C-alpha cells in the first residue's frame, strides 16, 4: 500500500510532517509520500521523504505566469504529482496535457476522479495511478470505504477494464489504520488523505496508526 499525504494549504509545519513521514516509512517499510504547497517542495524533499507536487500545469516552458511547471517541480525535488484533485479540477484535455508535462519531467502521476465512470476516462489517459475521491466525503472523517464501499470496488473494476497496470487509490475521509486496511480489502493499492495527518495534534502518531496494520 502507498500512503500519500496531501497537505493542501493547511497551516501545518510541512517539514515536520515530512520528517515524521520519512521516519515512519523507514521504520515500517511502507511507502509514504507528502504533497506540500509548491513553495515548500524543496524543503520537504530535503527531509528525504517522497515528495509530490499538489498539481502541475498543462504547459511547457513559456509565457505561463502563475503556472506550476512540471520541470520546476522536479528540480525542486518532487518525484510525483497529483492531478485533477476535486479542489483543482481540470478538463479532460488538460489532464492529458498535464500528464504529458509530468512525463517530460519524469514525475510519477496520480490522477483523481469522483466516480468509477470518471476513473475509467482518466485511466485511459495513462497515469501511473488513479484515486477515487467522492467530493462530498473530503474532509469529513468518514472514509469512502465505509460510506460507499461499492464505489471503491467499482473504481478498481473500471480502471482494470481499461488498463490493469494502473494502480487505484482510495481517497476522501481516510484517517486511521482501519480505513487503510478497509481500502486495501476493497482492492485499492494505496490511499490519498489530508486532514487526518495535516490537522492531527501529533502527525507522527497519526502516520504510525495509518501503517500499523500493513
Q: What is the structure's pLDDT at 65?
A: 97
Does the structure show a pLDDT above 80 at 143? Answer: no
Q: Active-site residue among 50, 71, 75, 85?
A: 85
Catalytic residue flag (residue 85): yes
CA distance 85 to 131: 9
Interval 34-67: pLDDT, tens: 999 999 999 999 999 999 999 999 999 999 999 9
d(CA 63, CA 18): 32
Domain boundaries, the chain: 2-211
- Rounded-to-integer distance, Cα 188 and Cα 160, Å: 11
Q: Which of 64, 87, 133, 208 is catalytic?
A: 133
pTM over 0.85: yes
**Is 102 strand, coil or helix?**
helix
pLDDT at 1 over 70: yes
Chain centroid to Cα 5, Å, comes to 6
Q: Is 133 a catalytic residue?
A: yes
Whether 139 shows a pLDDT value over 80: the answer reads no
Q: Report DSSP letters for 122-158, one per residue.
A: HHTT--SEEEE--GGGTTSS--HHHH-HHHHHHHHHH
For domain 2-211, give the CATH number. Answer: 3.20.20.70
* Percent of the chain's residues with pLDDT above 70: 93
Cell of 213: 496494520
pLDDT tens figures, 70-91 = 999 999 999 999 999 999 999 9
209 vs 214: CA distance, rounded Å: 10
Strand segments, DSSP code E, in the chain are 2-6, 31-35, 50-53, 80-83, 108-113, 129-132, 167-171, 190-193
Q: pLDDT tier at 150 (50, 70, 90 boundaries)?
A: confident
| Nearest residue to 156 via CA among 170, 172, 177, 142 | 170
**What CA–CA distances, in Å, run from 96 to 84, 105, 113, 155, 190?**
10, 15, 13, 19, 22
> What pLDDT does 134 receive?
77
What is the tens place of the pLDDT at every residue in 187-196?
999 999 999 9
Q: What are phi and psi of 32, to 5 degrees?
A: -130, 135
pLDDT-derived band at 133 (thresholds 50, 70, 90) equals confident
pLDDT at 149: 80
Amino acid at each position: 500500500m502507498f500512503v500519500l499525504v496531501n497537505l493542501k494549504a493547511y497551516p501545518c509545519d510541512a517539514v515536520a510532517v515530512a520528517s515524521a513521514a520519512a521516519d515512519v516509512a523507514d521504520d515500517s517499510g511502507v511507502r509514504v509520500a507528502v504533497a506540500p504547497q509548491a513553495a515548500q517542495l524543496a524543503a520537504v524533499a530535503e527531509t528525504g521523504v517522497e515528495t509530490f507536487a499538489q498539481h502541475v500545469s498543462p504547459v511547457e516552458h513559456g509565457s505561463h505566469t502563475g503556472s506550476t511547471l512540471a520541470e520546476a517541480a522536479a528540480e525542486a525535488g518532487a518525484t510525483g504529482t497529483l492531478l485533477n484533485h476535486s479542489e483543482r479540477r481540470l478538463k479532460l484535455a488538460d489532464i492529458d496535457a498535464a500528464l504529458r508535462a509530468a512525463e517530460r519531467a519524469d514525475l510519477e502521476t496520480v490522477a483523481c476522479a469522483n466516480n468509477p465512470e470518471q476513473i475509467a476516462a482518466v485511466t485511459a489517459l495513462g497515469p501511473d495511478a488513479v484515486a477515487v475521491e467522492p467530493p462530498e466525503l473530503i474532509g469529513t472523517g468518514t472514509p469512502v470505504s465505509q460510506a460507499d464501499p461499492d464505489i471503491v470496488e467499482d473504481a478498481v473494476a473500471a480502471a482494470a477494464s481499461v488498463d490493469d497496470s494502473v494502480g487505484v487509490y482510495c481517497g476522501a475521509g481516510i484517517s486511521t489504520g482501519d480505513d487503510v486496511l478497509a481500502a486495501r480489502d476493497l482492492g485499492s493499492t494505496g490511499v490519498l488523505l489530508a486532514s487526518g495527518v495535516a490537522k492531527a495534534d501529533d502527525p507522527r502518531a497519526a502516520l504510525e496508526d495509518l501503517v500499523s496494520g500493513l
